[in-house]
Amino acid sequence: MSSRQKELKKIYKKLKKRYPDEPVVLARDRKLLEHLVFAVFLENAKRETACAAFDAMERYYIDWNEIRVSTANEIVDVVGPIPDATRVGERLRRFLQWIFDATYKFDLEDLRARGRDAVVEFLKTVPFSTPFMNDYAALFGCGEGSLPLSEGAMRALRLLDFVVVSADGREIVPELDGAFEGDEALDFFFALHELGAEMFDDERRADALKFLRSLDAAVDERSWKPFVEPTGPTDPREIARLVAKQEKRQKRAATPLIDEIDMLDDAIESDDLDGEDDLLAKDVDDGYGETFGAEAARSDDDSVFGVPKKRTRKGASGEDATPRNEAAYSDFYGNGERDLFSFAETPENDDEKRSVAKPKRKRRGCEEADGDFDGVSDDEAAGKARKKRSADDAKSEKKEAKKCAKKSTAKKEAKGGDESADDAGGETVAKAKTRTKRGASKDEPSGDA
């Protein structure tokens, strides 16, 4: 046993004489969440005050959710006078809110079953949990852990010169956990905690300082203020504001795709597409690199989707990188017949646009008249095409009428010729043929009409 541990043993004996009452705390079979809530009341408060506040809370509130939705002042009115009551009520309700948001329930028994380390690691992520609460839950809820030290107890130990600053910038009490074992460690903890509660109370601090002078005459030469300033806020309301800011930053960091599109639209509208920060040119350059190789880059004359090159990539040697197989690239994209990405106006494109815009009937007339009306306007060509088509239709109708007249006359003459064949012989047949020809010539004018 070291000299420091021996001194702690001497202090423990004098503390037991000053605080002889046996500690009355929650049984170990209580749930882990109950130990944590009791630690909220016990920190910087006397043991009797904390027990009375916890009992009043259990009698008044139906469940944990009712406490979660209550205000700090409502909680203080229920639990009674406790040191720093408003902060205690605010810490309690925000602690329960955090547990509910993280687990969607008020039960940490599954976490408790995984062991002390899992409990401690989880409680470190809760911004409204203090080191005293974490150590108390590990010691009384899991059965093992360091002795919990409140701010009042640390003040007493600073005056007794037991506190040092570690390499990582924390205040620690070396060899404290190894100085006591079993029930003796619990007795020392509660006795020291009672002394710390008096150090935290302005009305009782004078009596506590008098007791400490009896233990060490050099107490007045030391300071009970913290050796290391806290890096973050200790007020639960300030912690809540800090947590809200962090959540907003995380939401802004995960920008959805629609916001990225809006940003690009804003850049286009504000003409922010020039220079090295050109978003569209950057995307085109990246696609070019994926196609022709990571070491390749577009030349100054290359244009993809109408976006000229805005910046030059440097190679490993610092020189401007050139496209791989530049000749093949230029042949493909420079050929007018395969200029896939050029939208320049050409005569062929003009003809195609005009033909697409015309009505179907009008376009058909132009196609029929292409060989005869070169150099004529579209409307004149369509009119001439209609006249030509109507003339062709008239000719075809005349031909059909002639054919029909010839057939009908031939049938009639054939009948007359058969009846007089025996009497007139071949002469009659010849006359019938002559009359058939004359009848056909007489019918021509009527067919033209």
Residues 376 and 332 in one domain: no
Q: How far apart are CA 202 and CA 206, in angstroms?
A: 8
In a domain, 350, yes or no: no
Residue 71 and residue 93: Cα distance in Å, rounded?
Answer: 7
Residues 6 or more apart whose Cβ sits within 8 Å of residue 388: 368, 369, 372
Cα–Cα distances (Å) from 301 to 93, 309, 322, in that order, read: 66, 7, 12
Full residue range of the structural domain in which residue 73 is found: 3-236
Rounded to an integer, what is the distance from CA 59 to the centroid of its chain? 45
Q: Are 57 and 115 contained in the same domain?
A: yes
Closest CA to 234 of 82, 373, 131: 131
248 within a domain of the structure (yes/no): no
What is the spatial distance between Cα 67 and Cα 75, in angstroms, rounded to a whole number?
7
How confident is the chain (449 residues) per 10-residue block, as mean pLDDT? 87 90 77 93 92 93 93 92 90 93 89 89 91 92 88 93 89 88 88 92 92 91 88 82 81 59 57 47 51 52 50 45 47 47 48 51 49 54 72 77 76 58 45 46 42
Q: Which residues neighbour 87 within 8 Å (Cβ) at sequence distance 6 or greater?
A: 235, 236
334 with 376, same domain?
no
Question: 149, 41, 36, 128: which is closest to 85 by C-alpha?
Answer: 41
Same domain, 220 and 308: no
Q: Read off the pLDDT of residues 240-291 as tens digits, 9 standing for 90 and up.
A: 888 888 877 777 765 555 555 566 556 555 544 444 444 445 554 555 455 5
Task: Let me know: does 373 contact 384? Beta carbons within 8 Å.
Answer: yes
- Which among 303, 338, 373 is the end of a domain? 338
- The verdict on 47 and 153 lying in the same domain is yes
Would 214 be classed as within a structural domain? yes
Condensed to tens digits (0 to 9), the pLDDT of residues 66-85 reads 999 999 999 999 998 888 88
* Helix H or strand E encompassing 159: helix 151-159
Classify residue 344: in a domain, yes or no. no
What are the phi and psi torsion angles at 270 (to 5°)?
A: -90, 10
Cα distances from 103 to residues 117, 121, 229, in angstroms, run 18, 15, 32
- Same domain, yes or no, for 80 and 196? yes
CATH number, domain of 127, equals 1.10.340.30
User: pLDDT per residue over 233-248, tens digit each?
Assistant: 788 888 888 888 887 7
Alpha helices in 254-377 (DSSP H): 257-269, 279-292, 326-334, 347-357, 360-368
> Could you give the number of structural domains in the chain?
3
Query: Do both 173 and 204 map to the same domain?
Result: yes
- Within a domain: residue 14? yes
pTM above 0.75, yes or no: no
94 and 164 housed in the same domain: yes
Q: State whether 210 and 267 are in the same domain.
A: no
For residue 213, give the 3-state DSSP assignment. Answer: helix
For residue 140, the SS3 value is helix
Co-location of 319 and 395 in the same domain: no
Residues 372 and 324 in one domain: no
DSSP 320: B
Burial class (CB in 10 A: 0-12, 13-18, 19+), 62: exposed
DSSP conformational letter for 138: I
Q: Is 232 helix (H, G, I), strand (E, B) or coil?
A: coil
Same domain, 74 and 162: yes
